[in-house]
Chain A
Amino acid sequence: MFRVTMKEDLNEQDYYLEVEAPHVSRHWRPGQFVIIVTHERGERVPMSVATINGGRVGMFIKKLGKTSVELYRDFKVGSSLYAVAGPLGRPLKLESYGTVVLASDAVCGHAEQLGLAQELAKLGNKVISIQTFKTEKEVYPEKYLAKKYVDEHFITTLDGTAGYKGHYIDLLRELLARREVKAVFAGGVLANLKKLAEATAGLNARVYALVRTIMVDGTGMCGSCRVRYNGVIAYACRDGPWFDARLVDWDDVLRRDARFKKVEKIALDKYLAR
């Protein structure tokens, strides 16, 4: 069950992992996520979905904490994950908006772009994609970029070694100044989503952000993922994970994201030292 069917490097830190999970793929819609558990002692980790191929679910994962490093090192094609559950969360209700921008600067955001781009194109939107990487050698292989599904595709790098020099927010500002963008969908680094919300504060367009949170069950049972949204408490797992970026209390999200920083390091150090 939940056999690994493919594992490939995206760059030095990020990798693509594909597992068999036909029960998840049947009803999955863009915007929904999965929860994976590596082994019996594993934690429940929410993951954005990059690809759905038949009964296989593909994810982009960053080698960051113990689980993601262990998954990269110890799980090979043919190994099995302990659990894959989903699809979870609310699918995005996508419409024909006109011109839309997809923006991302980290694994989860890059992953969600693929599904969103295809669906938005199907609905007749003019889709512009911006994918931000630190530097040229971190840019994903072409087949894992949203490029093939969109009308216009931009790579940006922070050091300017490839594509536009700067962050997706910088390029987005320029686009917004000269194009009539009707909707923005952004995912990735939380602190940058806060900046995005600020940058688009007065904008007459919809701005959606992927609110990545720490979850346990992922079905609305524990409240670990709670987000202050439009003044009330929402659960990212049940009511999200996509929200109107400008109604999210980002300071709250950022603070709660740091809850386990100390202990997370203990787990990784212990794993690396074994």
Chain B
Amino acid sequence: MSRVVKKRFTPKVLPVSERLRSFGEVVLGYDYETSVREASRCLRCPLWFAPCSKACPLRVKVPAFLEYIVKGDLEAAARKVYEDNLFPSITGRVCPQEWFCEGSCVVSKIGESVSVGLLERYVGDYARENGLDEKILAEMVSKNSGVKGRVAVVGSGPAGLSAAGWLRLRGYEVVVYEALHRPGGVLAYGIPEFRLPRSVLDHEIKKVENLGVEIRLNHVVGKTVLLSELLSEYDAVFIGSGAGTPKLLNIPGVDLNNVYTANEFLTRVNLMRAHLFPEWDTPISVGKTTLIIGGGNTAMDAARVALRLGSKPVVVYRRDREDMLKTARRDEVLHAEEEGVEFRYYLQPVEFLGDENGFVKAVRFEVMEPLNELDERGKKKIVGTGRYVEIPADTVVIAIGLEPNRLLMEESGLRFNEDGTIAVDDHLMMSLPGVFAGGDAIRGESTVVEAMADGKRAAEEIDLYVRRKKGLA
């Protein structure tokens, strides 16, 4: 065996100077030669062992598809990926690979892990740009004979799209109900286009529609159509309604003008294109300095959006950088840092201060310090010091997390956990027979890839359920 290349090959990246006023994609990815070289760094662990594949919520057979890249057979590589993951162009871009495949890569014991994400993205993009994805999916769906049943999917985010795709591939008629006027869920309203270009997302959604999935926009389940109606009209229902409600800080001044939740801030830009106002109708009001409170991916996204809107972003996190990397994707933190986002650590907000017109002008923080103790998520516990600092800001974005949207709760018959997540059994089925759920709706805040994995598994469980119900299994 040749000697292992310890360093990973770097992808093309948009220069920082070109990013500041542009929403263009930052990571431009590998070209063919680099992807072959990078894939060659893989040690080809056998699949029964491959820790990367085991760490992947979708169980993508990483060494197998990398081997095809090395051989130069990109179509075979794409087929291999599609066996487990219908959306490699999305996961390749937004997965926190360091927590999954790359985090467990054997090469990382002696050097840098193989860049699985960038390679998955390369294969996904190659398939998309060459029409292979549609071809592969058409072949996969043609293996079914006849329609096994009808399933309603609630929400067109990662969980819903995945469930819809896999159900269709299993021979079901699928109708997706989406509350907004555009499909994609968090992929459309939450993730900025410099991380996931709209053209890529639109194509991935079109791909699912071309499989024969119908997406009904402007339908709020629980309002426009009731769960009970879906249950009588379909053989089963999958709920992928996400963690759609922002947590707010219960401190004075949270209602001041220009204090946004991250969801509002990001939705105005990502979904409603407020950065193109007034060519697009939705406005956003951003001042000279934007304080972003929080340290997760959403905080990074909000900071980098604020930067591109011409404001100076300061991310304020109540712990330190090391702990931030446990909640935010490493690349996003690095990109934010190199773009000039300022970071302040060990500060916890206690009050928003406003001017005479009711607009925020500063935030008061308590200085925190770490204890020599870890919490259940492996982060250092923190405690207030009784010292306070004030940071001037004319815009604030609260990015401290989300909880499930409780709209569905208003319909009876469903069991919810105390935190608002939907309670499901081992088969992802809720207290109501025939109703399955996955993604953030059951997990609270999680990742795109875990939502997609839930969607995929739910498709399997729904298939079993429906076949049993119809006496076919």
- What is the interface of chain A, defined by CB distance below 8 A to chain B? 23-24, 26-27, 32, 37-38, 41-44, 66-67, 82-88, 90, 216-217, 219-224, 226, 228, 233, 238, 249, 252, 255-256, 258-260, 262-264, 266-267, 270-271
Contacts and interface: CB of A to CB of B under 8 A. Distances in A.
Contacts of A228: 255
A40 to B, nearest CB: 9
A137 to B, nearest CB: 31
A84 B263 contact: no
B255 A222 contact: no
B257 A255 contact: yes
A44 B245 CA distance: 18
Given A85-B218, A86-B223, A222 B405 contact: no
B281 A233 contact: no
B386 interface: no
Interface of B: 179-181, 189, 217-220, 223-226, 244-246, 248, 250, 254-258, 260-261, 263-264, 267-268, 272-273, 276-283, 285, 357-358, 405-407, 410
A270 B279 CA distance: 9
A263 B287 CA distance: 13
A259 B282 contact: no
B248 A83 contact: no
B181 A83 contact: yes
Contacts of A27: 223-226
A220 B405 contact: yes
29 contacts: A26-B224, A27-B223, A27-B224, A41-B276, A43-B272, A43-B280, A43-B283, A83-B218, A84-B218, A85-B220, A87-B223, A90-B410, A216-B268, A216-B272, A219-B179, A219-B180, A219-B244, A219-B407, A220-B407, A223-B260, A226-B255, A255-B255, A256-B255, A256-B257, A256-B358, A258-B257, A264-B283, A267-B277, A267-B281
A88 B223 contact: yes
B406 A24 contact: no
Nearest to A66: B281
B278 A220 contact: no
A214 to B, nearest CB: 10
B237 to A, nearest CB: 17
B224 A220 contact: no
A233 B180 contact: no
B129 to A, nearest CB: 25
A62 to B, nearest CB: 17
A144 to B, nearest CB: 26
A23 B218 contact: yes
Closest 8 CB pairs of A and B: A83-B181, A255-B358, A85-B218, A222-B264, A43-B281, A223-B261, A263-B283, A43-B282
Contacts of B281: 38, 41-43, 66-67, 267
